[in-house]
Each structure stands twice: as structure tokens, then as C-alpha cells.
């Protein structure tokens, strides 16, 4: 037998710029054309965004080829939609010289990013997030993918955007439920990385809920800085990036068990409460924080109740299939204190005994 070693050079380092501001969406298409003068542009959006003034603001009088995902939302976030998008692009002879533009929330951004990752082995993607959840989280960091019938983001890839444009004025078109639920990712960032930011969110909640530009720009900037500092260190989630999954283990399970009737942010809020209960059971403290969080989620009108149709067994089944599970048991990100993730034995995510997790789920179900 002969052996040949193939040496793969380290991927070249890359960087991208996140532009943050208000009322500048009408200038973005010209900026994209300047960034990618040689590229063919293909827009991916969804049926909800297509009805809003955000699409008109982006395009102005121009009309670029596009795919409108319908119905909007998690129901369409599957491989069938990806195939439809790719075939639409192929029919129009889009080549490797394509830049996909994602205009919309997390579902649009995740799907457009995934299409860009796999179309002809990869083309550029520009993210223009228009929801609180996408502006705080999903449009940055390059996680892309679609769900299978069994689990969330089962098909996926890391695909960093080539540019991100966050215009907080686009959030004006969101309904209250979506706007508020998306703020949970900002709360998560504050909890894992910055106590002062947590205090800012508490103090300025009314202005944020009134969708005032300045606090929204401030939180967009904080979210991006916190997330960027984590992914610059650990882009492929070997360890530190796991801290961004705070509240997501039980959160994703509840979201999936609800058949995506629960919004992502609402599910993560439940997951954050779960993490806080676990922290208390492990003697990590945080009793006061748990009450504060419940108070914040009440102000955000987020329903933390788990309906009777969702059982403990269902949640346990789903968490045992978590992508980050080891021997079919998930690892939990926990806080040492507000603004600081527990880092122990060189790890940011930890094994928690089954009885503690079960007791926590019981509390959540019966609260």
C-alpha cells in the first residue's frame, strides 16, 4: 500500500464589515454594487418582507432577479425550498460570479447563506437583516442552514457574509411579538459578556420598545461587538463560541417540540430561565437575576408557559440529539455571574446531571 499526504493550507483569513445605522437602506444596493462591481446580484427575501416598505427601500426603481420564500417562516426553512431557489438561479444562468443578497429575518438569512455556501460550491452572500433576532445574532457569524423533519439546522454550513448592513429603521415593520422576542438574543449577549450592557437594557427597555433609533443602534453595535469578539476567537464553535448558545439547549428543544409555533426568541427566553434554574441548583447563585429576567420577559410580554401538549420526555428526547451532545447528553452553557460565562476545565459548556435537568424541566412545565 502506498500513502500520499495531501496538505491543505489553512483557509485564508477573512474579514467583513458590518454597517450599522438608521434610514440608510435606500443606499445599500449602490453600496453592494460598489463592493462587487463584477458580480451578478440575486435577492432572496420572503413573502412578509416583500409586502413591506423595506423591499421597496432597498430596490428603489431597480429590479434585480429574486426569489420570494413563501410561506414566510420556519415552515419553509427546509431543503425543498433550497432546491427551488438553486434551480431558479440555475435557470437564470447565475454563475460563480454571484452575490446573493439576503433581505429579511433569521429564516431568510439562514437559507440564503446556505444557498450561497453550496451554489456552484460557493458564492458571496450579503446579509441585510430586518428583524431583531437577525440583527442581533443570525446575520453575523456565518451559521447557515435549514431544518430536517427531525431537527433544526440539520443541513448546514459555516458561510461568512461578505458584508452586513444593519438598518434599525427596518425594524419598524415588525409586529410587537416578533420585535420583542428578538430582543432576547440581545439579553443573552449581555448575560454572557457584559453586565453594564445588561443594566443598559434594563434601564432603556421602554425606549427600546418604542423603537427609538439611538438605543436600537447602540444595541446593534453592542451585539455585533460581543458576537464578533467570540467568533474571531472560535469561528467553528470548537469551544468559546458555544457560549453564544446560552439558553439554546432547552430553548431549541421547546421551539422544536412546539412545532415552531413558539418564536425562536420566546423559546430562548424559556431556555435562559432553565439555565438560571440549573445555575441555582448547582450553587452558582443568580436568584436575583432569575427574578429580574422574569420581570424583563414580562415587560416584553413573552409567554414563558410550556403548554401541556409538550412533555418532559419530548424535551429530553430532543436535547439528547442536540448537535453539541456528547454520548447523547447535551452540554450546557452556564453563568458564573451576570456578564461572565462559567469557564471550567478548559470548557465553556458543561455536563449537568440528568436529575438536575429533569427537575428543571419539571419546574418549567409546572410554573
Q: Does residue 237 carry a catalytic annotation?
A: yes
**Catalytic-role residue among 39, 74, 77, 185:** 185
20 vs 134: CA distance, rounded Å: 13
**Catalytic-role residue among 152, 189, 222, 264:** 264
The closest alpha carbon to 289, from 342, 338, 332, belongs to 338
Instruction: Find the shortest distance in angstroms from Cβ 243 to ligand GLY.
Output: 9
**Which lies closer to ligand GLY via its Cβ, residue 113 or residue 169?**
113
**Catalytic-role residue among 152, 159, 189, 227:** 227
**Which lies closer to ligand GLY via its Cβ, residue 145 or residue 215?**
145
Question: What is the separation of C-alpha 170 from the centre of its chain, rounded to a whole number of angstroms?
Answer: 17
**Catalytic-role residue among 34, 121, 308, 313:** 121
Angle at 327 (CA atoms; ends 313, 269), nearest 5 degrees: 50
**Which lies closer to ligand GLY via its Cβ, residue 57 or residue 244?**
244
275 vs 191: CA distance, rounded Å: 11
Instruction: Find the shortest distance in angstroms from Cβ 100 to ligand GLY.
Output: 19
Which residues contribute to the site for ligand GLY (CB under 6 A)? 137, 141, 143, 241, 244-245
Instruction: Find the shortest distance in angstroms from Cβ 230 to ligand GLY.
Output: 8
Give the three-state DSSP class for 192.
Answer: helix
Q: Does residue 189 carry a catalytic annotation?
A: no
Query: Which residue number is nearest to ligand GLY in terms of Cβ?
Result: 244
φ, ψ for residue 349, nearest 5 deg: -130, 140
Q: Does residue 264 carry a catalytic annotation?
A: yes
Question: What is the separation of C-alpha 87 from the centre of its chain, rounded to a whole number of angstroms?
Answer: 26
Q: Does residue 180 carry a catalytic annotation?
A: no
Residue 4, C-beta contacts closer than 8 angstroms, at least 6 positions apart: none
**Which lies closer to ligand GLY via its Cβ, residue 110 or residue 167?**
110
CA separation, residue 339 to residues 243, 284, 335, 346 (Å): 11, 13, 8, 18
148 vs 319: CA distance, rounded Å: 16
**Which lies closer to ligand GLY via its Cβ, residue 144 or residue 276?**
144
Q: Does residue 350 carry a catalytic annotation?
A: no
Instruction: Find the shortest distance in angstroms from Cβ 348 to ligand GLY.
Output: 11
23 vs 107: CA distance, rounded Å: 23
Instruction: Find the shortest distance in angstroms from Cβ 89 to ligand GLY.
Output: 26
Q: Does residue 252 carry a catalytic annotation?
A: yes
Q: Does residue 245 carry a catalytic annotation?
A: yes
Residue 31, C-beta contacts closer than 8 angstroms, at least 6 positions apart: 19, 163, 165
Q: Does residue 74 carry a catalytic annotation?
A: no
Q: Does residue 291 carry a catalytic annotation?
A: no
- Residues assigned a catalytic role: 121, 143, 185, 227, 237, 241, 245, 248, 252, 264
Amino acid at each position: 500500500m502506498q500513502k500520499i499526504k495531501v496538505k491543505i493550507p489553512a483557509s485564508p483569513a477573512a474579514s467583513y464589515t458590518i454597517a450599522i445605522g438608521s434610514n440608510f437602506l435606500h443606499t445599500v444596493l449602490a453600496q453592494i454594487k460598489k463592493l462587487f462591481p463584477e458580480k451578478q446580484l440575486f435577492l432572496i427575501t420572503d413573502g412578509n418582507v416583500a409586502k413591506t416598505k423595506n423591499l421597496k427601500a432597498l430596490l428603489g426603481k431597480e429590479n434585480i432577479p429574486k426569489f420570494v420564500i413563501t410561506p414566510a417562516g420556519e415552515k419553509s426553512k427546509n431543503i425543498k425550498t433550497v432546491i427551488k431557489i438553486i434551480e431558479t438561479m440555475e435557470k437564470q444562468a447565475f454563475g460563480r460570479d454571484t452575490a446573493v443578497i439576503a433581505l429579511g429575518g433569521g429564516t431568510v438569512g439562514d437559507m440564503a447563506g446556505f444557498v450561497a455556501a453550496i451554489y456552484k460550491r460557493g458564492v458571496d452572500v450579503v446579509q441585510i437583516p430586518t428583524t431583531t433576532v437577525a440583527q442581533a445574532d443570525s446575520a453575523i457569524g456565518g451559521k447557515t442552514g435549514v431544518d430536517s423533519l427531525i431537527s433544526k439546522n440539520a443541513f448546514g454550513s459555516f458561510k461568512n457574509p461578505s458584508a452586513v448592513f444593519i438598518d434599525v429603521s427596518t425594524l419598524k415593520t415588525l409586529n410587537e411579538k416578533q420585535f420583542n422576542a428578538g430582543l432576547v438574543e440581545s439579553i443573552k449577549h449581555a448575560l454572557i459578556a457584559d453586565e453594564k450592557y445588561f443594566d443598559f437594557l434594563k434601564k432603556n427597555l421602554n425606549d427600546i420598545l418604542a423603537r427609538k433609533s439611538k438605543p436600537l443602534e447602540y444595541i446593534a453595535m453592542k451585539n455585533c461587538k460581543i458576537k464578533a469578539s467570540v467568533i474571531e476567537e472560535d469561528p467553528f464553535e470548537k469551544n468559546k463560541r458555544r457560549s453564544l448558545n446560552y439558553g439554546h439547549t432547552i430553548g431549541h428543544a421547546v421551539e422544536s417540540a412546539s412545532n415552531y409555533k413558539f418564536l425562536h426568541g420566546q423559546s430562548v427566553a424559556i431556555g435562559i430561565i432553565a439555565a438560571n434554574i440549573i445555575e441555582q441548583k448547582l450553587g452558582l447563585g443568580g436568584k436575583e437575576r432569575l427574578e429580574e429576567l422574569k420581570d424583563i420577559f414580562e415587560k416584553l410580554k413573552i409567554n414563558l408557559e410550556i403548554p401541556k401538549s409538550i412533555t418532559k420526555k419530548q424535551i429530553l428526547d430532543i436535547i439528547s440529539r442536540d448537535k453539541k451532545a456528547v454520548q447523547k447528553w447535551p452540554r450546557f452553557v452556564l453563568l458564573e455571574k451576570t456578564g461572565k460565562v462559567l469557564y471550567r476545565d478548559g470548557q465553556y459548556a458543561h455536563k449537568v446531571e440528568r436529575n438536575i435537568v429533569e427537575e428543571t424541566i419539571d419546574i418549567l412545565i409546572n410554573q
